[in-house]
Structure 1
Amino acid sequence: MIRHTAAFALVASLFTSPLAAFDLEKMSDAERAAFQGEIRAYLLENPEVIMEAVAVLEERQAGQQADADASLVQVNGADLFEDANSFAGGNLEGDLTLVEFVDYRCGYCRKAHDEVAQLIEADGNIRFIVKEFPILGEASVLSSRFAIAARMIAGDEAYKAVSDALITLKSDVNEPVLRALASSLALDADVILAKMDSDDVTSVIAQNRALGQRLNISGTPTFVMGDQILRGYLPLAQMQEIAGAIRAN
């Protein structure tokens, strides 16, 4: 449907462009109808012209979007890459940083989880930052609050263990489930659960949501790699290709 709309817009522009060889406003109705008929006949005989023009238009729009995203990343670089409230793992001295906005209840985040881990392990030179971005309801918020509280209480290693457990959790999210999860990881469930509703935890989520809004992020997973914003799930091979391209440039 998008391609059809773009095609119609391109055809319409033939009749309104200031660069057109003819001034349609000075034509008679008969001349205008004949002229439009010739264009219609040409396009019907050569429909590939429309698709070629649409492809050029889409490429141009993609380039404009990439430039806009790069500017957004640059403006928000400190909050993306230097936020002390976000988990950082992988190679902390890596030459490339990957940021993921994640919701633990998101099916595509779950699908991406193992592939992101494979990317980081196989590459060996990527710093990985996680932004808690709960957008799918109360269970998502509870999960993020628990993970953030675990990090505040027990540090990055505990956060990583909790995060890995939450992304694969198949049951509902409630206090008994979270308490059992904490106990299974040898964490103090009482302390973490008490921390979950603190202003500190609320502030982290609010800051991440505000950052997401500034970056025009509306879904998860969303990744920032280099100066690119990658919206949605990407298979491992594509992430590796993008990483290679960023390094090559």
Structure 2
Amino acid sequence: MLRFAAPALTALTLISGPVQALDLSAMSADERDAFGVQVREYLLENPQVILEAINLLEQQQAAAESQADLQLVQNNADELFNDGYSWVGGNPEGDITLVEFMDYRCGYCRRAVPEVAKLLQADGNIRLVIKELPILGEASVISSRFAVAAKQVGGDEAYKQVHDALLEFGGDATEVTLRRLSDGLGLETDAIFEAMNSDAVTEEIARTRELAQKLNISGTPTFVLGTELLRGFLPADQMQQIAAQVRDQS
């Protein structure tokens, strides 16, 4: 019968607040059996208590996770918002920064492209930072190295052209496809390929990976909007609501 005691006590504690301390070890075997019977009868008569307790527990866990994510963002704010190497778009002087960790082979990252564009169009006061986080295999790594190399060789405009083209392309990155893409954009293709395996490109991607690990990021897209860490794809209207909440809290 004691197997019913734990959920009952959890339910009573979560729904009604702390109960008086109960020392089961001080009970006799008969007393423990009687207590178990009473708990079982109560739960059978009031099964909604368990559901209420579970819902409340989930809310408490979500709040704790949200607070932990908030602390992670605060602890890594400089590397998130001002790392000195990530591409910056939107309104560079915006009052809120949206950071996106992305992978070119990620379908949800491609779905996020028009949603982020809608957000930036609707709210002209958001600064956008793109962070390369290739986690979906070697083709992802090659694409990111190519994009970062394009930025280091040709600057922000070249990076944005390559970034947009790779997201639209969505296929496997090979030397043939990347050269064709670069030539089509009129970029310095040979210089970009020479830079792809440079220490500077390797360091940039490694720093972003290290930051993602600190933030417990395991998938793409992942966003940081102001102080909020958003794990997964979100439509523009939800991001607008979060931006408004962030501004209200600041």
- Equivalent position amino acid for 2:60 in 1: R
Query: Helix, strand or coil: the match of 2:135?
Result: coil
Q: What is the CA RMSD across the aligned residues, in angstroms?
A: 2.1
How far 1:26 moved relative to its partner?
A: 2.3
Structure 2 Cα separation of the partners of residues 69 and 47 of structure 1: 34
> Is the 2:5–2:39 Cα contact (8 Å) retained in structure 1?
no
1:120 matches 2:149: no
1:231 matches 2:236: no
Cα 1:51–1:25 shift into 2, 3 Å: same
- Structure 1 equivalent of residue 222 of structure 2: 222
How far 1:171 moved relative to its partner?
A: 2.9
Instruction: Please list the CA deviations of residues 206-245 of structure 1 after superposition, one character each: whole Å capped at 9, or x if unmatched.
Output: 0000111111111111111111111111122211111111
Structure 2 Cα separation of the partners of residues 57 and 87 of structure 1: 40
Cα 1:128–1:14 shift into 2, 3 Å: closer
Structure 2 Cα separation of the partners of residues 59 and 151 of structure 1: 43
Query: Helix, strand or coil: the match of 1:197?
Result: coil
- Equivalent position amino acid for 2:128 in 1: F
- Structure 2 equivalent of residue 54 of structure 1: 54
> Is the 1:98–1:126 Cα contact (8 Å) retained in structure 2?
yes
- Structure 1 equivalent of residue 244 of structure 2: 244
Instruction: Please list the CA deviations of residues 9-37 of structure 1 after superposition, one character each: whole Å capped at 9, or x if unmatched.
Output: 64464799x94454322222222122112
1:76 matches 2:49: no
Instruction: Please list the CA deviations of residues 75-134 of structure 1 after superposition, one character each: whole Å capped at 9, or x if unmatched.
Output: 111111111110000001111100000011011111112111111121111000011000
Q: TM-score, normalised by structure 2?
A: 0.90
> Is the 1:15–1:24 Cα contact (8 Å) retained in structure 2?
no
Structure 1, unaligned runs of 5 or more = 1-6
- Equivalent position amino acid for 1:172 in 2: D
Query: Helix, strand or coil: the match of 1:187?
Result: coil
Q: TM-score, normalised by structure 1?
A: 0.90
User: Residues 72-221 of structure 1: matches in 2 within 5 Å?
Assistant: 72-221=72-221
> Is the 1:14–1:20 Cα contact (8 Å) retained in structure 2?
no
Structure 1 Cα separation of the partners of residues 235 and 47 of structure 2: 34
Structure 2 Cα separation of the partners of residues 15 and 70 of structure 1: 30
- Structure 1 equivalent of residue 28 of structure 2: 28
Query: Helix, strand or coil: the match of 2:230?
Result: strand
Structure 2, unaligned runs of 5 or more = none
Query: Helix, strand or coil: the match of 1:239?
Result: helix
- Equivalent position amino acid for 1:248 in 2: D
How many residue pairs get aligned? The number is 242
Cα 1:83–1:25 shift into 2, 3 Å: same
